[in-house]
């Protein structure tokens, strides 16, 4: 049996008692986190972009009748997916990856897509509804809306971007209950996603022919090829500065144009001061020039 002295027993007893406001340390190491949310953390999802920093490049104003055409394609894709599932059961075969994305579409997904297309038509392409708005407008549950958005994105009908926003005056807001009411609250918060309806290029071959875009005529392709060749020939005659101005715009184009102007100036200097061709007139000792010709 191990014997303890009075001092060792007192130190052992005091070591098991944690004073108020102090952390119990084992071997000098910091204890592991309890998993509670950090008071000043940023509770945002991965891949989120700050709201107000990308929307001008993300949203696009739909053309006249484009949203109606996209909605017709979504409904036709739903019917095509159902036919694929029936055919796969009859033939006892497995669907391909593209066919599975088409078969995953549901009537609820088409209803959600209809609401997104409606918002795109009414708001000039700026679509950022919340899950609650989509659930209320479609009479579906939030979980059903989430599955519908995932299926539409996988099929190529939708482009979705998560967003977060900054919490204004975070120091004045009350701290979460998990922090004991101390410190500042979170500086960022998740906000609604941004959506953009798209033309699904991957599944066009599985849709009815009347929904596919018309092929480009052969003469139009030939004219485009001739135009590209003429543009390439024209670019070959330009200087470095003119080529940068013609092909690249903005600040990068100005920088490249200045660099091209410097390259052009160096090329002009080499043309203004060429090296003399001495071998054409300096005779050798045997009467034969340096270029191999016999001199008189």
99 found inside a domain? yes
Task: Determine the average pLDDT of the residues in 185-199.
Answer: 87
Distance of CA 208 to the CA centre of its chain: 30
Q: Does residue 238 lie in a domain region? A: yes
**Domains of the chain: total:** 2
Helix (H) or strand (E) segment spanning residue 72: helix 66-91
80 and 196 in a single domain? The answer is: yes
Residues 261 and 133 reside in one and the same domain: no
Q: Report, in this order, helix, strand and coil percent for the chain, each rounded to 5.
A: 50, 10, 40
One domain for residues 195 and 73: yes
Confidence of residue 278 (pLDDT cuts 50, 70, 90): low
Average pLDDT over residues 28-44: 52
Same domain as 130, residue 254: no
Same domain for 240 and 171, yes or no, is no
> With 60 as the cut, is the pLDDT of residue 233 above it?
yes
Given pLDDT bands bounded at 50, 70 and 90, which one contains residue 209? low
Residue 7's pLDDT band (cuts 50, 70, 90)? low
Query: 43 CB contacts (<8 Å, ≥6 apart)?
Result: 37, 186, 188, 189, 190
Work out the mean pLDDT of the chain and round it to a whole number. 77
β-strands 158-166, 49-50: how paired?
parallel
Q: 285 in a domain, yes or no?
A: no
What is the structure's pLDDT at 26? 44
Of 190, 210, 230, at which residue does a domain stop?
210
Q: Is residue 34 part of a domain?
A: no
Distance of CA 218 to the CA centre of its chain: 34
205 vs 215: CA distance, rounded Å: 13
pTM: 0.56
* Domain boundaries, position 253: 216-273
Top pLDDT among 258 and 159 is at 159
In whole angstroms, what is the distance from residue 294 CA to residue 286 CA? 9
Please give the structure tokens belonging to residue 168. Answer: 């204004």
295 pLDDT higher than 80: no
């Amino acid at each position: 049996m191990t014997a303890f002295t009075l001092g060792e027993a007192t130190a052992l007893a005091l070591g098991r008692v944690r004073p108020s406001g102090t952390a119990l340390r084992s071997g000098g190491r910091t204890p592991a986190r309890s998993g509670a949310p950090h008071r000043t953390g940023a509770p945002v999802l991965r891949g989120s972009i700050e709201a107000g920093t990308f929307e001008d490049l993300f949203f696009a104003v739909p053309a006249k009748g484009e949203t109606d055409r996209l909605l017709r394609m979504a409904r036709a894709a739903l019917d095509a997916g159902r036919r694929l599932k029936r055919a796969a059961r009859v033939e006892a075969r497995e669907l391909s990856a593209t066919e599975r994305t088409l078969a995953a579409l549901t009537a609820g997904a088409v209803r959600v897509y209809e609401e997104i297309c409606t918002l795109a038509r009414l708001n000039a392409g700026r679509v950022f509804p919340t899950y609650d708005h989509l659930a209320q407008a479609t009479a579906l549950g939030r979980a059903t809306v989430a599955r519908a958005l995932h299926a539409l994105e996988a099929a190529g009908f939708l482009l979705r971007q998560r967003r977060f926003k900054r919490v204004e005056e975070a120091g004045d807001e009350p701290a979460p209950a998990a922090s004991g009411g101390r410190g500042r609250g979170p500086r960022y918060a998740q906000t609604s996603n941004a959506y953009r309806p798209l033309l699904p290029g991957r599944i066009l071959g599985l849709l009815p022919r009347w929904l596919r875009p018309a092929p480009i005529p052969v003469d139009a392709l030939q004219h485009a090829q001739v135009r590209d060749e003429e543009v390439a020939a024209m670019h070959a005659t330009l200087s470095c500065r003119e080529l940068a101005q013609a092909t690249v715009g903005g600040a990068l184009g100005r920088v490249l144009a200045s660099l091209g102007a410097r390259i052009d100036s160096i090329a002009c200097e080499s043309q203004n001061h060429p090296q003399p061709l001495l071998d054409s007139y300096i005779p050798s000792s045997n009467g034969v020039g340096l270029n191999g010709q016999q001199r008189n």
